[in-house]
Amino acid sequence: MLTPLLLLWPLSLALTWFVAQGIASKPFDRALEFNLQVLTRLVVLEEERIVFKLDSQARDLLRADTGDLVYYQVLGPRGELISGEVDMPRPGDEERPEPGRVMLRDEGMRGDEVRVAYTWLARNGSERLVLVQLAETKGKRSTLATEIIKGVMVPQFVILPLAVLLVWLALVRGIRPLNVLEQRIRARKPDDLSPIEESFVPQEVAPLVSSINDLLTRLKASLTTQKRFLADAAHQLKTPLAGLRMQAELAQREVDPMEIRGSLRQIARASTRATHTVNQLLALARAETTGRSLPNERIELSRLVRGVVQASVPRALEHGIDLGFEGPEETPENCLIDGNPTLLQEMVRNLLDNAINYSGQGGVVTVRVLLDRFSGVQILQVEDNGPGIPENERELVLQPFYRALGTNVDGSGLGLAIVQEIAQQHGAMVIMEDAHTERSPRGLRVSLRFAPFRPPVQE
Ligand SMILES: Nc1ncnc2c1ncn2[C@@H]1O[C@H](COP(=O)(O)OP(=O)(O)OP(=O)(O)O)[C@@H](O)[C@H]1O
Ligand SMILES: [Mg+2]
């Protein structure tokens, strides 16, 4: 605040100087004009001659000024000197004489600055004009201007330091709560995400503090989710690993080759489960991170889904599942979607795995790509005739590690979380419904709606 205040001071002085000069010269201009008018009355325009009758009274009037030098000049129609000083500067040629009007201008004369009042006099009916000029030096004008400046400047010497002091005091007082706030924030423990108290902060900073509090709340929520996720992941891995160790110890003590073989089978199962969990964890991490950074491509959804279905045929046969695909042979240009093929494959694979795993022996799984050629919208459906998911669990199964009870299928509970993440990144929503409303089991139909890629309009 000090810098602008100190800069403003000289500026205000310069401004005062200009204003003071304007004010100071006004009364003196009036007096000069008046004296000029007195002089013009002394010019007598006779038939052929022009006479300037300067009587003693008028001479006194001119000399009445003590501080300044006064000059006058009377010029005839042809520019000849009738009375006064020869070397007085004349008005510029470009100026159009206006008889009877008194004008003012600034000039230099004999090394001094002078203020000149001048006018033209017209003889009756004649074009020829007589010029009368009266000049005075500017001594008393600048004296008055200086007086005004002094009158203004002296109080400023007092007011300015006072203003600086007041501003300083006010700022120190105003900023004190901020210092307190700073200390409180510094003193916080790294894991303290409780909101900052808003009551003691100044009104101006309250919105800032409130937005920081919002951020803290969101951070806390996201940290809690991450912590829970980490704990769940650790738990999911710990169980098969503990199983592994137990079976290995058991096998070491065992002598019966059949028992050893059984233990080895258990070990293989536990390690498969652990590997599956790790793979699913990695897939979820990949979906969360690469989805935003990988450049997207234009994808034929139908062809991509068909590829995944074909790759799953052996697994379906193994489970005794009737796996079918329904979708258009070709996708028109306007129906291509904008997305990441690796992630989309991962998503379809998870949906298909669920359908195959949970519908069980003799199940029927149908994967469908519905295409609306007009709007370009495509709907991916994965349908099975398994037990389905009860309505109240459809939200929950999308969360990581949530597994519905009552199945004997191995899994980590991450598949649908992966599906949800990838769908979100492609602007699609996961909708779950009964596949068959009229028979039991009702089965499950998972639908995802994709909007087509729209090239930006070229201007
Ligand atoms: N097609 C389905 N039919 C019946 N229940 C299903 C179906 N798909 C998912 N579920 C239920 O939703 C739960 C969550 O599924 P999700 O795919 O997320 O995990 P998961 O299959 O158990 O494990 P992962 O897919 O990681 O191997 C499953 O445990 C299952 O109970
Ligand atoms: Mg699954």
Q: What domains does the chain contain, in order, with CATH numbers?
A: 2-146 (3.30.450), 190-293 (1.10.287), 295-450 (3.30.565.10)
Mean pLDDT of 246-271: 91
User: Taking ligand 2, which is a single-atom ion, which protein residues have CB atoms under 5 Å away?
Assistant: 354, 415
State how beta strands 129-137 and 70-75 pair.
antiparallel
Helix (H) or strand (E) holding 307: helix 301-318
Mean pLDDT of 36-58: 78
Q: In the chain, how long is the greatest CA-to-CA distance?
A: 159
How many angstroms separate the CA atoms of 333 and 303, rounded? 13
| Ligand 1 atom at shortest distance from the alpha carbon of 350 | 25
| Average per-residue pLDDT for the chain | 87
How many angstroms separate the CA atoms of 271 and 296, rounded? 35
Mean pLDDT of 118-137: 81
| Ligand 1 atom at shortest distance from the alpha carbon of 355 | 1
Tell me how far the alpha carbon of residue 314 lies from the centroid of ligand 2, in angstroms: 18
Q: Which two tokens stand for residue 92?
A: 């510029």
Tell me how far the alpha carbon of residue 388 lies from the centroid of ligand 1, in angstroms: 10
Q: Which of 321, 358, 402 to mutate to test the pocket of ligand 1 (most atoms within 8 A of CB)?
A: 358
Over the stretch 359-412, which tens digit does the pLDDT of each residue have? Answer: 988 899 999 999 988 888 999 999 999 999 999 999 999 999 999 887 788 888
pLDDT for residue 123 is more than 80: no
pLDDT for residue 155 is more than 90: no
pLDDT for residue 292 is more than 70: no
How many angstroms separate the CA atoms of 194 and 207, rounded? 17
Mean pLDDT of 270-277: 91
Contact criterion met (CB below 8 Å) for 284 and 414: yes
Ligand nearest to the CA of 404: 1
Q: Which amino acid is at 112?
A: D
Q: Which of 277, 354, 433 to mutate to test the pocket of ligand 1 (most atoms within 8 A of CB)?
A: 354
